[in-house]
A and B are shown apart, each in its own frame.
Chain A
């Protein structure tokens, strides 16, 4: 409640008109008119179909759309679902749109949703992306139920992915979070999540580092903060995630700077938790996950290799400041291999990431520069991963990923040692 002051009077009066609710669904938007109507429809149908007796509200913080997104959100709320609403004639669907300054980033939108959940006394709060093409009403149930009925505080998504899709998550984010925080969470940057009311209130109160996570990092912060705060964490299978977002067109360098930087920052914020954490536990997963071998994503492996190889050559002086001499020598050695013989082994990659995390913590060079220096190395890892698994089936790929995760876990003492050392 202490954070009410940042909410506009109009927004507060709209919330007051809604009254108490059980479920809050947050839908931050910015120029998403093409997709948002379908997403709103899915959310509303999901709420009516699966939670007919619960009071709910859709909160739509908008960063100043110029294409009529908020109008589309409001228009989608009533006429399309007369048939469904007829089954629950007494229901009123509340849709509240409010503007916020897009300069402050998406974390400001999340803050508004948390504030709404707190003010309205919601028991569960779901966050949904506005650019989804694959969302169905079942997603709402999959996300909300564990938080509303099963006593979980944080519900992360599990997506059905194509082969070689999400390689940054699989090769860096997931294994590092699993090794450090001790939770086997599949999608640490999942943008469809649900929270219990108490966790939403906790996030609302703990906004001291909001500026550190302006973009996608806000979702990583939520995931790791829930783990470090001792909240009950689970995940729900949602299906394939198809979007039309411009975000997906962000260049790889920006993506790595955003998400890897946020994860390293989270490690700094939660260091007292993860350094002491010994065990690694499975995260309960709800929903049915079919075993399907989808077509692989197309990635130009040769170009990746060439950019890795030339990047290592050009950035040697920068990498010398970040990596230990042994690790750098090993990377230089693999960068000199022929393209067909090229391998970036699991242990070398995991060690590289650990040393980057520690160097980030010690600020051995400007942090943005450090994260940019990771990009060519990641390209090398991707190239090697595709070369090794080009003909492998889903099970084989999963086995190899599991071995990579175990490598990260094996290197946790090395990470801690580097983390706690004095600057070289």
Chain B
């Protein structure tokens, strides 16, 4: 009995030692790959940042308003952003190689799923980024138009435009990565429809006098429209 226990323990110890002997080098290899990847990614980022600064890469975007748009979106300059993206791409690639080196089948499956999802995820990020830029642009356009038309609540109009565009961008991004696809689409359709219907009811019932004035001003000859023309007929 005693020998049997000792034999089992020895067998277990041998098995654990075997597993450890097999796993430790793999873990060490993974750590080395990840650390080496971080070093390589950092060096690549450093060199790229220097090169882009030397090449005055940011100046290419200044005249297009991209730098300003990025800063408004609380994002770094184009050169900084590209450097950081390169850093993360290289490091994530090394991390994935490191995890693969562990040789754990379940993890390898997860890695392959992640790799499969990665392009969708990048596309979703791009959609949100461009959605943010579009939201900024069109909300500012709406704000300026509302101010110059002497509308009562320009910031409300502008905020509403920004909200709608961001909502659309986020919905598209989530739909892209396949996260709760049906729920997101239905939620968006319901929210959008509700907002539009609410606005229509509010304008039709609450603002019918305003609506009438706007229509009269647009289509009737004379009246207030003529008065506005007179005021602004002679600036040139």
Contacts and interface: CB of A to CB of B under 8 A. Distances in A.
Interface of A: 162, 164-169, 189, 216, 248-249, 251-253, 255-256, 259, 297-300, 303, 307, 310-311, 314-315, 318, 321, 362-366, 369, 372-373, 375-376, 382, 423
Contact of A375 (B64, B148, B155): B148
Which of A162, A251, A314, A321 gathers most chain B CB within 10 Å? A314
Contacts of B235: 166-169, 252, 255-256, 382
Interface stretch (B1-9, B22-30, B92-100, B137-145): B137-145
A303 B62 contact: no
Interface stretch (B112-120, B171-179, B225-233): B225-233
A297 B234 contact: yes
Contacts of A253: 148
Interface residues of B, number: 26
Nearest to A378: B235
Interface string B203-236: 0000000000000000000000000011111111
Contacts of B145: 372
Contacts of A252: 148, 232, 235
A369 B140 contact: yes
Nearest to A190: B236
The 4 closest A-B pairs by CB, nearest first: A168-B235, A372-B144, A253-B148, A165-B234
Which of B65, B147, B155, B233 gathers most chain A CB within 10 Å? B147
B191 to A, nearest CB: 27
Nearest to A300: B231
Contacts of B64: 363
A259 B236 CA distance: 9
Given A166-B235, A252-B235, A314-B154, A373 B144 contact: yes
Interface in B98-143: 137, 140-141, 143
A299 B141 CA distance: 27
A423 B62 contact: yes
B148 A318 contact: no
A310 B230 CA distance: 22
A167 B235 CA distance: 5
Contacts of A299: 231-232, 234
A373 B150 CA distance: 13
B148 A372 contact: yes
Given A300-B231, A366-B137, A255 B236 contact: yes
A421 to B, nearest CB: 12
A297 B231 CA distance: 8
Interface string B147-166: 11010001100000000000
A253 B228 CA distance: 13
Nearest to B62: A423
Contacts of A164: 234
Given A248-B234, A297-B234, A311-B148, 5 more contacts: A166-B234, A248-B236, A299-B234, A315-B144, A362-B63
Contacts of A363: 62-65
B83 interface: no
A185 to B, nearest CB: 15
Given A168-B235, A168-B236, A249-B229, A314 B143 contact: yes
B232 A321 contact: no
Contact of B68 (A166, A298, A364): A364
Contacts of B230: 298
22 contacts: A162-B234, A167-B234, A167-B235, A248-B229, A248-B236, A251-B148, A252-B235, A299-B232, A299-B234, A310-B147, A311-B148, A315-B143, A318-B143, A318-B144, A362-B62, A364-B65, A364-B68, A366-B137, A369-B140, A375-B148, A382-B235, A423-B62
A172 to B, nearest CB: 9
B67 interface: yes
B221 to A, nearest CB: 12
Contacts of B232: 251-252, 255, 299
Nearest to A304: B231
Which of B64, B144, B146, B229 gathers most chain A CB within 10 Å? B144
A166 B148 contact: no
A253 B232 CA distance: 10
Nearest to A164: B234
Interface string B41-72: 00000000000000000000011110110000
Contacts of B150: 307, 310
A256 B234 CA distance: 12
A318 B67 contact: no
Nearest to A296: B234
Contacts of B229: 248-249
Contact of B233 (A249, A300, A321): A249
B148 A376 contact: yes
Contacts of A168: 235-236
Contact of A315 (B137, B147, B234): B147
B65 A169 contact: no
A189 B62 contact: no
Given A314-B155, A366-B137, A369-B141, A166 B62 contact: no
Nearest to B232: A252
A321 B68 contact: yes
A376 B65 CA distance: 23
A248 B233 contact: yes
B71 to A, nearest CB: 10
Contacts of A310: 147, 150
A314 B229 CA distance: 24
